[in-house]
A and B are shown apart, each in its own frame.
Chain A
C-alpha cells in the first residue's frame, strides 16, 4: 500500500505543476512564442477532455459488466469528427463569426438572441453536468481509497474521510479554475493557459492508461491471444455477443450528440478554437486518440476478472491490477492518470458552466437592475462579470459536491455518465435546426427543449434515485399515485426495453416533434430571420454583409461608454481606433455606421453573450428593431433592382442580336445589288450581239445597190435568225425572272418520268444525230411517278441532254441517262463523256449567263440561262439539281425529285 498522505501530497504536487504550466503558457500565449499553444496538436489533445475518469476507470468496468458496449461511446464521436466537413466546420465557423461563448449562447443567438432560451439551456446544462462532476469527485476519492488501503477489495470506507477528501478536491479545483478561467473577460472567451494544462493532462492520462495496458497484457496476461482465450472463463462474452440492438445504437447516437452538446466539449471544440484549420488535424487525430484509449480496455477487464478475487470493483481494475502485483509506482502513475482525467473535466466543465450562468442569468438580471446598469466607472460590468463567474464556478462545484455527498454510497453514480449524455443530447435537435433549418423558430426550439428535458428528467434522471427508496422507488414500481400508465421507465405502457433506450426515444421524439410542429405553426421575428440566415448560410456570406438589413444609428460617445463598461477602457479604445483607421476622417468626427454597431455588438457578445449584448446596445442604439415587413421590403427592393438589371441585360442582348441581323441583311442586299448590276450588264451584252448583227445587216440592206437578190435573201434570213434568238433570250429572261420571283404557272401532278424522258430524247434526236451523239438509256424504272409538271420537266431534260450534246467534243460521244430510287425520292442522272467541267466552274454553272464550256469552240452557244432556269423549275417541284461526280470523265448532272404517293401505294 501507499500512504494516503503521500498520494495526497503527490496529487497536490501535480496540481501545482498544472498551475505552473497554465501560468507560463498564459504568459507565452501573450507573446509571439505562444504559437505552439495555438497548434492543432494542442487543440486535439484538449478535445480529449471527452475522456474523463469515466473513461479512464469506467470503461474497464463497463467492459467487465457488459462486454463490447464501451466501443459505442467512442465510435459516436469518431463518426462526428470524421464527418467534420459537414457538421463541426460549420459550427466552428459560426462560433467564430458570431463570437459564440457557449452552447446556450449559440442556441439563443440563432433564435433571435432570445434570453429565455439561453436561461433554459443553461439550466439544463447545469442539471445535466452537476452529477457528472460528482462522478469525477467520486472517482478521485474511490481511487485514492483503493490505492492507499490494505485490501484491494473495496469495502465500506470511512465516509467522513471520503467527504472531506471530495470537498478538498472540489475546493482545489475551484481555486484553479478561478485563477485561470476568470483572469480576464476576453472578446474571444479563450483560455490558453487552461487549454495547455488540459492538453498536458491528456498526454498524462493516455500514457498512464497505455502503461497499465502494456503491463497487464504483456506482463500478466501473456499477449492478446492468450487473454482473449480466457475471456469466456472470465464471463466476458466477446464471441457471438448479440449485444448490437437498440441499446448499442442509442449509445452511439448519444455519444455522437455529446461530443457536440456537452458544455465542456463545446467550450473546447468551438469556443477555444483559434483556427478553423485545426479541425483538419483533429478530424483524424482525435479518433486516433480515442482508439489509443480503448486498445487495452477489454484485456484489462478480462485479466482483472480472471486474476483478482471476486468482489473487486471492476471500475478500479486499472489501479488494482498493478497493486495486486506489487507495481506500486505503476499504480501511482495510473492514479495520476485518473486524477488528470477527472480534474480536466471538472476545470473545463466549470468554466463553461460559469460563462453560461454569468452571461445568461446574472447579466440579464444586472442589466435590469438600475444601480448596476447605471454605474459608470468603466470597470463595473467587467468586475460584475468576473465576480459572477467566480461565484458560478464555486456554485457549480458546490452543487457537484452536494450531489456527491447526498448520493455517496447509494451506487446511483454508476449510471450518471450516460444519464448526463442523454440530458445534454436534448440540445441536439435545436443545434441541428440552428445550423440547417432556416424556418425553425425560437418558440419551436424552446418548447422542444423544455418538453424533451422534462421527459428526460422524469424517465431517466428521476428513476436514477431509485436506490434511495421512498417515493422514487414507489413511483418507478407503480407509477405516480398508482397510475401504472405513467411509470417513468415504462411510459404509456412501453415495457420491456432498456430504460436508457426508453428515455432517449421518448425525450428526443417529443423534443424534435414539438420543435418541428411549433416552428411550422409560429412566425419568426425579424431578428430571428436575420440570425437564421446568418447561421444557415454561414459559408455563403462574408462576415459583415448582414448589416444591410440594419439601419441603426447612435452617438459615438454613448457607444464608447457602453463598450468601455464591458470591455474596459483599453480594449474599447482599441476597437474604436481599429475602425476609425478604416474609415476616413478623424476620431472626433467619427460617425458610427450600422456596420460598426454590428461589429461592436459582436465584440460585446464575445464577452457577455449575444442576448445580453443585444439588450445593452439597444439601450443606446435607435432604430435597430426594424419590423419584419421592413426587412421583407428591403429584400423586395433588392429583388426588384436585380430583376430590373436582368431585364436590361436581356434587352441589350436582344438589341445586339437585332443589330447583327441588320448587318447580315445589309450584306445580303449589297450582294444582291451587285448581282443585279452584273445581270443587267450581262443581259445588255447578250442582247447587243444579235442587235449588232441585225443592225449591220439592215444597214447593208438599206443601200439597195451592190446587193444581189441572193445576198439580200441570205441577209434577211440572218436578221430573222438573230431576231428569233433575241426573242428566245428575252423569253428566257422573262421566264427566269418569273420563276425567281416565286411565280409558278403550273400545278405539280403525278407524272411518269419515263414518258417525259422519252419525249425529251425524241426532241433532242435531230440535234444528236447531227452531232453524231448517241443517247444511251441506262437502268430505268418503268413506272416511277413523281410530283411535277410534264412539260416543264421535259424542258429540264431537254436542256440537260442538249447541253451534253452541244459541248461534247469527244471522238465517240454519248450521253447516258439512268434512274434510281433513293428512299422516297427518285434520282435521274445525265452522264456524258465530254470534257467535263473545270473544278473552279463547278460552283457557278447554275448561275445566270455562266457557260461551263467557254473554251469549247462551238457555234451553238446557248443563252447561258438554261441551267439557271432548270434549277429554278426543279426547285419548284420540291426537288434539286446537282452537279455530281459521275463515273466517267465528263459531267454528270443529277435531278432529284420526290416520288408521288401514288407510286408508293402501287408498289
Chain B
C-alpha cells in the first residue's frame, strides 16, 4: 500500500516536473548559443526531456495498480464497511 501511495505521488509529480522543464523560465536556460556533439543544446535538451518523460512513465506505470485490481480493492473496502 505504501509503495502504491508513493507511485501515485510520483505519477502526480512527473507531469508537473515535465511541464516545468519545458516552460519558461527553465527552458530559457538551455536556449543559448551552444551545442552538444554538433546538435544545438536546446534541441538536445528538448529530446532529452521528452525521452526522460517516456522512460519515467514506463517505469512508473509498473508501480501503479491495474484497473481490475483497483476495482477488486474497492469492492473489498465497500464490503468491509459495516
Binding site for B on A (CB under 8 A): 68, 71-72, 75, 78-83, 85-86, 89, 93, 223-226, 228-229, 231, 238-245, 248-249, 252, 275-277, 280-281, 283-284, 287-288, 291, 295, 298, 539-540, 542, 645
Contacts and interface: CB of A to CB of B under 8 A. Distances in A.
A231 B40 contact: yes
A226 B38 contact: yes
Contact of B15 (A83, A93, A295, A298): A83
B18 A82 contact: yes
B24 A248 contact: yes
Interface in B1-60: 8, 11-12, 14-16, 18-19, 22-24, 27-28, 31-35, 37-43, 46-47, 50-51, 53-58
B38 A244 contact: no
A68 B57 contact: no
B31 to A, nearest CB: 5
29 contacts: A68-B46, A71-B22, A71-B46, A72-B22, A75-B22, A75-B50, A78-B54, A81-B57, A83-B15, A85-B11, A86-B15, A225-B37, A226-B38, A228-B38, A228-B39, A229-B38, A238-B40, A239-B33, A245-B24, A249-B23, A252-B22, A277-B66, A277-B67, A280-B61, A284-B55, A287-B53, A291-B47, A291-B51, A539-B70
A288 B55 CA distance: 9
B59 to A, nearest CB: 9
B67 A82 contact: no
Interface of B: 8, 11-12, 14-16, 18-19, 22-24, 27-28, 31-35, 37-43, 46-47, 50-51, 53-58, 61, 64, 66-68, 70, 74-75, 78, 82
A223 B39 CA distance: 10
A245 B75 CA distance: 48
A89 B22 CA distance: 24
A75 B19 CA distance: 9
A892 to B, nearest CB: 54
A645 B50 contact: no
A31 B56 CA distance: 37
B2 to A, nearest CB: 17
Interface centre among B14, B47, B53, B82 (most CB of A within 10 A): B53
Contacts of B33: 239-240
Contacts of A85: 8, 11-12, 64
Given A79-B18, A83-B12, A85-B8, A284 B54 contact: yes
Nearest to A75: B22
Contacts of B57: 81-82, 283-284, 287
A82 B56 contact: yes
Contact of B58 (A238, A239, A240, A284): A284
Contacts of B24: 244-245, 248-249
Contacts of A240: 31-33
Given A242-B31, A280-B61, A291-B50, A225 B38 contact: yes
B67 A228 contact: no
B32 A239 contact: yes
B14 A238 contact: no
A241 B42 contact: yes
A226 B53 CA distance: 28
Contacts of A242: 31
Nearest to A227: B38
A244 B31 contact: yes
B45 to A, nearest CB: 10
B74 A539 contact: yes
A223 B78 CA distance: 60
B40 A82 contact: no
B14 to A, nearest CB: 5
Interface centre among A79, A86, A540 (most CB of B within 10 A): A79
A82 B53 contact: yes
| 6 tightest Cβ-Cβ pairs between the two chains A and B | A225-B38, A83-B15, A276-B67, A85-B11, A284-B57, A284-B58
A171 to B, nearest CB: 39
B64 to A, nearest CB: 6
